[in-house]
Amino acid sequence: MAGSPDAEEAVSQEGRDPPAAGGAARRTKRAGPAGSGALQPAKLSRAELYKPPTSEELSQLKETEDLFHSSLLRLQIEELLKEVMLKETKKKKIDAFLHEINSLLSAVPETSETELTDQAWLPKDVKVPFLQVPFSVKGRFHFVPPTELKVVGSYLLGTCVRPEINVDVAVTMPREIFQDKDNLNQRYHRKRALFLAHIAQHFSKEKLFGSVKFAYMNSNHLKPILLLRPQGKDEKMVTVRLHACPAPGLFKPSRFYPSKNNVRTAWFMEQSTPKEGAPEPPTPHYNNSILCDTVLLSHLHFLSSAATDFPGMKDGLALLKVWLNQRQLNKGLGCFSGFLVSMLVAYLLMKRKIVKMMSGYQVLRSTLQFLATTDLSVTGISLAKDLDASLPVLDDFHQAFEVVFVDPSGLVNLCADMTASKYHQVQFEAKRSMEILDDRMVDGFQVLLMTAKPMLRTFDHVFHLKHVSKLQGACKKMQLLNELMDRGGNYVAAALPFIVSLLTRGLAGRTLLVTHSLPQTPEWPIDAEPPKHKDVGHLTFGLLFVPEFSASMLEKGPQADHPEALDFRTFWGEKSELRRFQDGSICEAVVWKADTIYQKRLIPEQIVKHLLKLHADIPESSICYMGALLESVIRTGKETSGTGEEAMVNVVCSYDDLSRKLWNLKELPLTVTAVQGVHPALRYTDVFPPIPMKPIYSFHARNRTKHLLLPSEERPCPAYIAPLKIICHMEGSGQWPQDKEAIKRIKAAFHLQLAELLQQQHQLVCRPTASHTDVYKDGYVFRLQVAYHREPLILKEVVTPEGMLKYQETEESRQLELETLHLPYLTSSLHGLQQQHPVFGSTCRLAKRWVSAQLLSDSISEECVDLLVAFLFLHPAPFMPPSSPQVGFLRFLDLLATFDWKNNPLIVNLNSGLTDTDCAEIKNKFSAARSRLPTMFIATPKDQWSSMWTQERPSAQILQRLVVLASESLRALEEQLMDPLNSQDVKMVFRPPLDFYDVLIHLNPNQIPRHLEGVDRPLKSFSRGVVKNSSAVKILFPVVDYDPVQCYLQELRDAFSDLALFFYDKHGGEVIAVLWKPLSFQPQPFKVSSMKGRMVTTLNNELVCVPNVEAILEDFEILGEGLVKSVEARTEKWTI
């Protein structure tokens, strides 16, 4: 503590007195009761302990009960406010810095008068921070030092929010600088820029400043400001923003009404003579930019009168600023800035929607409620009290601007630069936030104020306009000359509202929201040229879908004979055609081409590219559409069209047909009461769905007696055919035996009988065994397993030595319950979730493909990953449920990386089976029993206490590894997806880093049956002895569930699990990675019984045994003969 600047300052100021509050809080704790922040347990008498609460305490308790779901939320908010508010010592330093700036300003020398265009008096090391296009302009300029410097903005109100502390300072430019008609043709703006440039040039020589730079205020090119930061280690502490504003009463306000013109066309187009009789267009944005400078001080007075005697306003504004910041709404051109939200709170106070008694949380709620229910792009609001008849009315503002919020003077529109789409996004976010605050199942604080919402994770599809300069052409095509003049030539700002409204119209019905990133220009050094309009980089657009309609192939228009039909044809261009519909009507319509579900999801891409080309001349090559780049890793087969959703539907149809046949089987001694699928393909979450196959006999060896095919030794390993497991529940009956061995025999008999009857009644090829029956149907292999509902109970029976019968869980009974009760329930619940959210299955598949690609598929169960993804769809707050697999996958990585697994259970509320009291109870029990529970704890309605899918795995180390991999993958992916100018190799995050494994076992590709499922398609593929066909009836039974690599892995784990861990990507991985267990490499005392894989050496004259690594590596090769290509030892870790 003693070394920090705070402490030194506190000591120097206070001498030997106890430090003031906040000065040195950490020392205060030791300083005893003298300091105001001392944390000492107070000794209270009995009477004081039991005295009734004061009225203030009562009102606080009442408020906590009424407003916050829990007292925890109140404490969290208080803690957050402490974090973001400015500390007293910082304020003192900032004040001192401001005093020094003030004294420096008055010392800046005057200059002699020159023409505005003659800027030779400025030294070469400072450039005018203004794009002077066109350059020639009338008027004269000379510098006169400013008369006064006033602090404006949030610093004085105490609503500054860390981490970025900006202090706004207004410098008044003296009257002598200006002449008549300075309101025209950017003359005022250029004088303002020259005024700032001269100050900058002098300040840059001063030792006081660490940096002197220019920036555009809210990225508005007409409004440069000067940024000053202190010298040394305080440079990051504060940025003082210098705004130049005109002397009061310089301009007549009536010149700047939204309908007036202040930029002449002839000047802007550099024509010598204006056209005869052409009326000048209004320039509302230009006018507004000058008016803003005239009202800086009056706004400050207005806000400070609102903030007096209103402590809740300060807290409420801090919370609102955090809320806006997490949603990326508060920076850039046309942002919803902190100043704007302060004015909004003042408006609500004026309208009595907020009263001065309210706490910060109530201010937050009331403001969000107002934003959610008011559309300022339709009905604007005004802070002007006495309506002066000469002032413009709200309708005048609505004609000139998209969003209207008029300031107290009645002249300035505070939302002038905001697009309607941006305001609709704010409105949408406010609605969503109100729903979240009212939902007792959600931790509102965490979700609203602590969770960032970057565009990539918020919107279902994101696309970039790579080259913003293409918007120049768009302005020509859309005839936006007037807007360009109004915006000072900024074609991005001029075209953006039109581009967005074009897309909103084209995607209406498919999207809830079409929004854009805010153009931002970076700050720049004073000796550099100011940034051009194209320097905002790329523009990003986000689409949020309505899941039911986003993929529809038809855009139905008006009837052909209606007058609107022409408008529809003009809008869609040559894509529009006449079609006759089933009801007999003949309408205009647009039909988009898409064959697979994957292509249908990308119809919005076709629409966006078509409309931008047609109406804005933006070529397809300039649009980088990031909707479905990741899905290439779950493509099936060589055809590039689909991602296997159709194959999944076919499997489920075949299964439904089989279950009907099982229910209606005749001549069974007991009827089938339920048929339940448990294979992931039957809940749409199998990474690569099974494809119907028929074996080629010549490729296999045969077993004639049993009509079976076997793998042939000469040929590559046959294709992997996954058995799709189905549980058949048989009805209960008194005839079932009560002995576990007898039940197994009866079940075996049922398996034989089911095979026989399916063959007789439905001509299906079956292969019965004692534990199951395999059925070949439609090219798939279904594995039927008979279940009897009392069997788990009978397995739990234990007879005590006293002859008492008691029930206790055994490993066998747990496993059986899992297979026959819990897994079917989970599969049907997730099948239901897929019906509600069509991209649930594809998101699961991406997530599992990623886990498998990281070689961790054996370390975490498939069901566990499915539940993690289900959580994203059931509890999406603060987002909407995902409507594209890519956004679902990015949120899956974020969930893995940021969820606090150590201190919280993940509660997945399937079928809304849990109430908020249940959730609270789960959390409490979890905290009480944390040490005994699995590292990753997932609770569902049917499994609240045991977290059965994560009991054995993942282990703490594997979970830690997953968290690290997820956060790295997310960072890399977001970087790539947000950078349209680089090539997007998104497969990068599916290629595992192998450098930290000790041994790599390279496999022979022709023995890897799923070789083609690899992330990078192998160049050479092998024939696997099957043809795609599902019509075969009489066939020899194919080789089922045969993967040599899995058999080899099992053998390795059986033999060496005490020495090493083995990792493998089951989807076509060519490498098994091995990690030695560090503990097993410590020398152990020599025992004959524990010599497996070890050798004897002497250490300090004692016989000890250590692992014999060379022999073990040799064993790896011998065990995998024919499958293993080579064994590569990567580290020398195993030398003692």
List CB contacts of 287: < 8 A, sequence separation 6 or more.
Answer: 255, 256, 257, 258, 260, 262
- When pLDDT is cut at 50, 70 and 90, the band that residue 3 belongs to is very low
Q: What is the 3-state secondary structure (H, E, C) of 736-760?
A: CCCCHHHHHHHHHHHHHHHHHHHHH
Distances (CA, A) of 735 to 537, 662, 669: 77, 21, 10
What pLDDT is stored for residue 108 in this prediction?
84
305 or 706, greater pLDDT: 305
Of the ranges 356-365, 1010-1019, 1114-1123, which one carries the lowest mean pLDDT score? 1010-1019
How many other β-carbons are positioned within 10 Å of the β-carbon of residue 802? 5
What pLDDT is stored for residue 966 in this prediction?
96
Q: What is the DSSP string of 1088-1107?
A: GGG-TTEEEEEETTEEEEEE
Contact 923, 904 (CB under 8 A): yes
List CB contacts of 785: < 8 A, sequence separation 6 or more.
Answer: 725, 726, 727, 728, 771, 772, 819, 820
Which stretches of 488-621 are assigned E, i.e. beta strand?
Answer: 511-516, 524-525, 539-545, 554-559, 576-580, 586-591
What pLDDT is stored for residue 904 in this prediction?
92
Contact 544, 511 (CB under 8 A): yes
Q: Computed from CA positions of residues 736, 742, 743, 745, in that sequence, does the dihedral angle turn out positive or negative?
A: negative
List CB contacts of 748: < 8 A, sequence separation 6 or more.
Answer: 770, 771
Give dist(CA 631, CA 886) in Å, integer. 7
Give dist(CA 960, CA 967) in Å, integer. 11
What pLDDT is stored for residue 145 in this prediction?
87
Q: Which residues pair with 1008 in a beta bridge?
A: none
Using one digit for the tens of pLDDT, what is the confidence trace for 80-137? 888 888 888 888 888 888 888 888 888 888 888 888 888 888 888 888 888 888 888 8
- When pLDDT is cut at 50, 70 and 90, the band that residue 527 belongs to is confident
**Highest mean pLDDT: which of 39-48, 173-182, 562-571?**
562-571
Contact 794, 738 (CB under 8 A): yes
Contact 730, 659 (CB under 8 A): no
| Residue 411, CB-side half-sphere exposure with 13 Å CA sphere | 23
Q: What is the 3-state secondary structure (H, E, C) of 425-492?
A: HHHHHHHHHHHHHHCCCCCHHHHHHCCCCCHHHHCCEEEEECCCCHHHHHHHHCCCHHHHHHCCCCHH
What pLDDT is stored for residue 19 in this prediction?
35
Give dist(CA 67, CA 577) in Å, integer. 56
pLDDT at 165 over 60: yes
Give dist(CA 151, CA 302) in Å, integer. 14
Which stretches of 330-391 are assigned E, i.e. beta strand?
Answer: 381-382
Mean pLDDT for the stretch of residues 232-245: 84
Q: What share of the chain is helix, strand, coil (3-state, %, to 5)?
A: 45, 15, 40
What pLDDT is stored for residue 45 in this prediction?
74
What pLDDT is stored for residue 919 in this prediction?
92
- When pLDDT is cut at 50, 70 and 90, the band that residue 506 belongs to is very high
H helices of 68-122, in order, are: 71-84, 88-105
pLDDT at 962 over 80: yes
The pairing of strands 166-173 and 149-152 is antiparallel
Contact 528, 489 (CB under 8 A): no
Give dist(CA 941, CA 825) in Å, integer. 11
Question: How long a stretch of residues is the chain?
Answer: 1136
- Taking phi over 0 as left and psi of -120 to 50 as alpha, with beta for the rest, 312 belongs to alpha
**Angle, alpha carbons 355-356-357 (nearest 5°):** 90
What pLDDT is stored for residue 746 in this prediction?
93
Using one digit for the tens of pLDDT, what is the confidence trace for 271-299? 777 777 678 889 999 999 999 989 888 99
- When pLDDT is cut at 50, 70 and 90, the band that residue 68 belongs to is low
Give dist(CA 116, CA 94) in Å, integer. 36
- When pLDDT is cut at 50, 70 and 90, the band that residue 28 belongs to is very low
Q: Which two tokens stand for residue 1035?
A: 């066939």
- When pLDDT is cut at 50, 70 and 90, the band that residue 72 belongs to is confident
Mean pLDDT for the stretch of residues 1062-1090: 85
Mapped onto helix, strand or coil, the DSSP state of residue 68 is: coil
Mean pLDDT for the stretch of residues 466-472: 88
Contact 827, 677 (CB under 8 A): yes
- When pLDDT is cut at 50, 70 and 90, the band that residue 640 belongs to is low
What pLDDT is stored for residue 13 in this prediction?
36
Q: Which residues pair with 727 in a beta bridge?
A: 676, 785
Mean pLDDT for the stretch of residues 177-201: 88
Give dist(CA 1046, CA 1120) in Å, integer. 11
Mean pLDDT for the stretch of residues 162-179: 86
Maximum pairwise Cα distance, the chain:
115
Contact 780, 724 (CB under 8 A): yes
482 or 892, greater pLDDT: 892
Give dist(CA 839, CA 601) in Å, integer. 10
What pLDDT is stored for residue 37 in this prediction?
43
Q: Cα–chain-centroid distance for residue 396?
A: 40
Using one digit for the tens of pLDDT, what is the confidence trace for 383-439? 888 777 788 888 989 999 999 999 998 889 999 999 999 999 999 999 999 999 888
Which stretches of 1026-1069 are assigned E, i.e. beta strand?
Answer: 1026-1027, 1060-1064
Place of tokens 């609605």: 431
Q: Which two tokens stand for residue 219?
A: 């990225």
Give dist(CA 212, CA 99) in Å, integer. 17
What pLDDT is stored for residue 1029 in this prediction?
63
Contact 242, 226 (CB under 8 A): yes
Give dist(CA 754, CA 1115) in Å, integer. 44
275 or 449, greater pLDDT: 449
pLDDT at 60 over 80: no
Mapped onto helix, strand or coil, the DSSP state of residue 1057 is: coil
Distances (CA, A) of 223 to 164, 242, 289, 324, 692: 20, 11, 8, 23, 66
Q: What is the DSSP string of 139-200?
A: -EE-----S-EEEESHHHHT---SSS-EEEEEEEEPGGG--TTTTSTTHHHHHHHHHHHHHH
Mean pLDDT for the stretch of residues 485-513: 91
Share of the chain above pLDDT 70, in %: 92
Mean pLDDT for the stretch of residues 523-538: 88
pLDDT at 265 over 70: yes
Average pLDDT, the chain: 86
pLDDT at 976 over 80: yes
Q: Cα–chain-centroid distance for residue 144?
A: 51
pLDDT at 604 over 80: yes
Place of tokens 């049917």: 942
Mean pLDDT for the stretch of residues 45-72: 69
What pLDDT is stored for residue 136 in this prediction?
81
Give dist(CA 614, CA 779) in Å, integer. 47
- When pLDDT is cut at 50, 70 and 90, the band that residue 370 belongs to is very high
- When pLDDT is cut at 50, 70 and 90, the band that residue 1133 belongs to is low
Using one digit for the tens of pLDDT, what is the confidence trace for 711-721? 877 788 888 99
Peptide bond connecting 882 to the previous residue in cis, omega within 30 degrees of 0: no
Place of tokens 């923003």: 241
Contact 195, 173 (CB under 8 A): yes
What pLDDT is stored for residue 152 in this prediction?
86
* H or E element at residue 500: helix 491-506
Core vs surface per residue 901-914: b (16+ CB within 10 A) or e? beeebbbbbbeeeb
Share of the chain above pLDDT 90, in %: 42
- When pLDDT is cut at 50, 70 and 90, the band that residue 16 belongs to is very low
Q: Which residues pair with 1076 in a beta bridge?
A: 1060
Contact 655, 677 (CB under 8 A): yes
Mean pLDDT for the stretch of residues 922-931: 93
Q: Which residues pair with 1003 in a beta bridge?
A: 1124
Contact 999, 1129 (CB under 8 A): yes
Give dist(CA 797, CA 810) in Å, integer. 9
